[in-house]
Amino acid sequence: MNYSRQNTIYQVGGSLSEEASTYVVRQADSQLYSSLKAGQFCYLLNCRQMGKSSLRVQTMRRLKNEGTACIAFEMRELCLHEVTEEEFYGGFVSYLVSEFNLDIDLETWWHGYNIMHPALRLNKFIEEILLSQITSNIVIFVDEIDSVLNLNFKDDFFAFIRSCYNKRADKPKYNRLTFVLLGVATPADLITDKERTPFNIESQAIELTGFQLHEAKPLEKGLIGIAAHPHTVLQEILHWTGGQPFLTQWVCQLVSSLSHIESGAEADCVTQTIRTRIIENWLAQDKQQHLQTIRDRILNNEQLACWSLGIYQKVLEVGELAVDDTPEIMKLRLSSLVIKQSGYLKVYNRIYQSVFDNNWVEKELQKMRPYAEAFAAWEASERDTSQLLHGDNLRNALTWANGRSLSDKDYQFLVASQELELSQVLSRTEIALEQEKQAIENSQKAQLQVRRSKRLSLIAVVAGLAIGAIPIIFTSEPLAVLLNNIGLENYQAEKLNTALPFYNLALLIKQNYREAYYNRGKVYEDLNNFNYARINYNAAKNLGLPQAYSRLARRYILDKEYLLAANLLSEGLELPLKDQREKYTMLKNLGWARLGLARLGKKTYTYLEAEVPLRQAIDLYEKRGSAHCLLAQVLEDKKETRSSLSQWRKCLEFSDPLHPDERYWIEDAKRRLVSDTAK
């Protein structure tokens, strides 16, 4: 193909200027503008090079023309290596003074309040200086917030922004101040300290989608003169890019450099250009490091890389995959590799699918897995058990897997290897036990001695497993119960790694042993292996164990999967619950899940729906703290201050400081009650 024209109408990378003729107006433009005019806090949290900054430039222009005071703060400039809190907040205030042209001797003012924490000085500056000198509406765009996420004091900064919103109820002048957050992050990333209230202000999420054909007409300008049908060429370009803004500008620039595109040859010309100028030898041609950044975002997260590649591989295989908005899925979407449409995960576009194809996935997985050769042989042999891991190789693989989220295939491989390792010694164990039993019977020992001998053998065998010896397995169901009970004894003694093999053995003997699944889930949860914990709780739930509903739902809640938790608990409450304590826990967790949904601003979920099950839980057990702590938060969010404080007092009175959730709520209660006393 002939490339002769040089066309500068398209801009590949960077923010488009206010006057850029190729700026594409999307639905997000009107949504952001109207939300800011209404005084709503907004956030555009999306993957890189989706046009966030260009949208910000255009929106600022419109707002400034109408009299709104606007500035944009690029946080990357402030978040230098090892920046201190003093430097960070001082720099932020200095920028406000400069951009808004405020009348203040900043150095004197700032150092005059050295007694205060820098975040408190920023709060004071906003209220006493900024909102006093600027009388119009103010919008502060905080761009590239992902630069802030690695700072060890980031929670304080986002808590400051949240406080500006919360002050609107008591100080009307804060209604003039609005923040817009832009960057590659999820809302859950902003405040990660579990002891603090999450970043849950009522704000507008602005969704940035790819260019649609009817929106992208400004891009046709650069194609006029080289194509008989510019609209058709643009249509073919979008067919490849999925409307991804950076890719679309890039391909338009490449295609516009062609000397001529014949009528009817549009698809071939676009396809050949993309294949030769982008896909083939993509590392060398990716000058703006767009594709490399996608690759690095997937691979550089050591804990999630294998899992992310496994999910992406599934999407490649089936075309689309039904998913929920789990934290892991949200992080995968931030890579830009996939998008979620109507509840299904799909590859964003044909270019990504061509560059990051199944061969690429397999090569990267092989680089990661310490057991890559065995795994490949297992897959190639249609899962022949002779290719599974055993001995030191298995133990090394399990050590590597600990703390990582893996793909389903990896889990299946490792679980199959564990099961084979255990089951291979089954016959030897049975023979050994039978010999021991016969020896005792032959010597006419008492039956008590038989039971003691069995128990000692079990303990010795599993102790051997714990230190790396070959595991021993038993087949009778009573022994499965005994193993489970020994596991419980060790769990209660906080010997988690000792308890785990007992549950493994119990489940090998009795495969539908729901209590063992549940108990093993608790061990995994205490070991912070939350994926395994969820798998085991789910297995116990599917076998009808009531307490598994509450445990699994709590994991969903902590992972902010509130809808999954609420649906699961509603299902669990339909069970014939004989234990009122379990009913209390389900009702309490249902209120907790609904509180999370209400805070997300889902119109179909209200605070009243969270309040009802919490009051029902309190009716069952009035002197348990959790339901009071959660009800206090519901009432606080409903602005029922007096009732909320009453519940915070009961939260403080009845909560257990050793309870995994109540210990955090106790601190919340103390802060609320101290604050109320100060008033």
pLDDT in tens, 336-382: 999 988 888 999 999 999 999 999 999 999 898 899 899 999 999 99
Structure tokens at 309: 């590649």
Query: Splitting the chain (679 residues) into consecutive groups of 10 residues, what average pLDDT does each group show?
Result: 65 88 94 95 89 94 96 88 89 95 94 93 96 96 90 89 91 95 86 68 86 95 91 97 96 92 94 96 92 93 88 91 82 91 91 96 91 90 90 84 79 80 60 60 54 48 42 54 86 87 84 93 91 91 93 92 92 89 94 92 77 94 94 92 92 91 90 70
Domain count, the chain: 2
Question: What pLDDT sits at residue 6?
Answer: 58
Domain of 182, CATH number, reads: 3.40.50.300
Q: Is residue 577 part of a domain?
A: yes
Q: Is residue 48 part of a domain?
A: yes
Strands 177-183 and 41-45: parallel
Are the C-beta atoms of 153 and 190 separated by less than 8 Å? no
Rounded distance between C-alpha atoms, residue 679 and residue 670, angstroms: 14
Last residue of a domain, one of 148, 174, 205: 205
Using a cut of 0.75, tell me whether the model's pTM lies above it.
no
Q: Is residue 626 part of a domain?
A: yes
Question: What pLDDT sits at residue 263?
Answer: 92
Question: What pLDDT sits at residue 474?
Answer: 37
Instruction: Strands of 283-336 (E only): list them.
Output: 321-322
Element (H, E) at 641: helix 641-654
Are the C-beta atoms of 220 and 230 separated by less than 8 Å? yes
Rounded distance between C-alpha atoms, residue 97 and residue 16, angstroms: 26
Question: What pLDDT sits at residue 419?
Answer: 72
Question: What pLDDT sits at residue 391?
Answer: 82
Q: Is residue 470 part of a domain?
A: no
Question: What pLDDT sits at residue 464?
Answer: 46
Rounded distance between C-alpha atoms, residue 273 and residue 267, angstroms: 10
CA 254 to each of CA 258, 276, 292, 400: distance values in angstroms, whole numbers, following the listed order: 7, 11, 19, 44
Which domain, by its residues, includes 630?
Answer: 573-679
Q: Is residue 178 part of a domain?
A: yes
Q: Is residue 112 part of a domain?
A: yes
**Residue 327 CB: number of other CB atoms within 10 A?**
15
Torsion of CA 655, 661, 663, 667, to 10 degrees: -100
Q: Which residues, in sequence order, are bridge partners of residue 340?
A: 345
Q: Is residue 158 part of a domain?
A: yes
Last residue of a domain, one of 179, 205, 231: 205
Element (H, E) at 163: helix 154-166
Last residue of a domain, one of 158, 186, 205: 205
Looking at this protein, which amino acid is placed at residue 632?
A
Nearest to 31 by CA among 175, 205, 185, 162: 205
267-270 own/partner pairs: CB under 8 Å, 24+ apart: 267/236, 269/1, 269/233, 270/233, 270/236, 270/237, 270/239, 270/240
For residue 140, give the DSSP letter. Answer: E
Q: Is residue 92 part of a domain?
A: yes
Rounded distance between C-alpha atoms, residue 242 and residue 653, angstroms: 57
Domain of 673, CATH number, reads: 1.25.40.10
Instruction: Strands of 19-143 (E only): list them.
Output: 41-45, 69-74, 138-143
